[in-house]
Amino acid sequence: MDLSIIIPVYNESKAIAHNFSVIHETLFKDKISCQYFIVDDGSTDDTWQELNKLKIKYHNVSAIRFARNFGKEVAICAGLDHIRSERYLIMDSDLQHPPSCVKEMLLLMNKTKANIIDGVKQKRSKETLAYKLLAGSFYKVLKAATGLNMNHSSDFKLFDNKVADAIRRFSERNLFFRGLVDWIGFKTIPYQFNVQDRLEGTTRFSTMKLIKLALNAIVAHTSKPLYLTIVGGVFFLIFAIILGIQTLVNFFVGNAISGFSTVILLLLIIGSMIMLSLGIIGVYISRIYDEVKQRPRYIIADIIGNTEEDTVTKIINT
């Protein structure tokens, strides 16, 4: 069975040795042979040293280290850029994606001949109220804007090389992996799993990172917010016409509206509408700017394992 497991890690030095041994032992017990590709997403702790130790202990581990934190989405893509196999599995390093499910996912893929086995969160892990509220409203906005129902979706996905090839064709800088896999299509079978509690530390996604990801998810998948500015404009035009007629009638009749309240209110409403619309347009322009610059998606600082050859071939080919 030709399977590659891509694991993005960020500041996991305390847990990675234990977590990896659990993943490895579980898959070994289930007689699943695979290679591991770990992407250190620019950790600022000793994660890279821990990965070096893992390489000595386990023969089937390769890893790369980013020069800085480029984000989980990019880390997953970097994994796909550097390895080739029949099947790929994306998995978190914190055991929240249970390794005991991998065997069932592989069997399901064999049975259904699906291209993607899509891990769907049946039971979410313990989350703070603020996180739940933020995530809940983000998923609602995302569904309304893009039609993507990501409420229970996860990055825990098993897919074949056709899907991997399709993902490799995307060169976007600001991407949302789950949305991208949904967008490309292919035969997808959901696989329900229970998200385990994080054993060590808390989520590596700060509120700022989550907001950025949420914005990316929307901007990368729809331009509806831009049309929303037109809808807002039309709405205020109608409002303006009605108010304009009423003001003119009042003027000619001889009883003009008194006081500044109306003027101030109108100014405030129109001002915020304009700022909001400019903001929306600005976000899209900044994304266009990001893409036009054609900067590399990530910079690699170090490599361990069998990936050097691939990297060299890639550089020659591009």
Contacts to Mg ion by CB under 5 A = 92, 94, 96
19 makes contact, choosing from ligand UDP, Mg ion, none, with CB < 5 to 8 Å by partner type, with none
Q: Is 72 in the site for ligand UDP (CB under 6 A)?
A: yes
Q: Is 69 in the site for ligand UDP (CB under 6 A)?
A: yes
Member of 52, 203, 306, 311 binding ligand UDP (CB under 6 A): 203
CB of 95 vs ligand UDP, minimal distance in Å: 9
Task: Return the number of the residue (19 or 115) whose C-beta is nearest Mg ion.
Answer: 19
Task: Return the number of the residue (58 or 205) whose C-beta is nearest ligand UDP.
Answer: 205
Task: Return the number of the residue (100 or 277) whose C-beta is nearest ligand UDP.
Answer: 100
Task: Return the number of the residue (96 or 115) whose C-beta is nearest Mg ion.
Answer: 96
CB of 71 vs ligand UDP, minimal distance in Å: 5
Sign of the dihedral defined by the CA atoms of residues 315, 77, 134, 280, in that order: positive
Q: How big is the site for ligand UDP, counted in residues (CB under 6 A)?
A: 16
Residue-wise DSSP of 150-184: -TTEEEEEEEEHHHHHHHHT---SS--HHHHHHHH
Beta strands, E only, the chain: 3-9, 35-40, 61-66, 87-90, 116-123, 153-160, 188-194, 300-304
Q: Which of 42, 72, 5, 43 is nearest to 217 (CA)?
A: 72
Task: Return the number of the residue (12 or 182) whose C-beta is nearest ligand UDP.
Answer: 12
Task: Return the number of the residue (71 or 99) whose C-beta is nearest ligand UDP.
Answer: 71
Q: Which of residues 17-46 bind ligand UDP (CB under 6 A)?
A: 41
Q: Is 71 in the site for ligand UDP (CB under 6 A)?
A: yes
Which one-letter amino acid corresponds to residue 308?
E
Binding to ligand UDP by CB under 6 A, coded x per residue (else -) over 84-103, reads --------xxx-x-------
CB of 40 vs ligand UDP, minimal distance in Å: 8
**Spatial distance between the Cα atoms of 181 and 159, rounded to a whole number of angstroms:** 10
**Spatial distance between the Cα atoms of 313 and 233, rounded to a whole number of angstroms:** 52
Q: Please give the distance of CA 94 from its chain centroid, rounded to a whole number.
A: 17
**Spatial distance between the Cα atoms of 164 and 3, rounded to a whole number of angstroms:** 12
Q: Is 119 in the site for ligand UDP (CB under 6 A)?
A: no
Buried b (16+ CB within 10 A) or exposed e, 104-142: ebbebbeeeebbbbbbebeeeeeeeeebeebbeebbeeb
Residues near ligand UDP, by CB under 6 A:
8-10, 12, 41, 69, 71-72, 75, 92-94, 96, 203-205
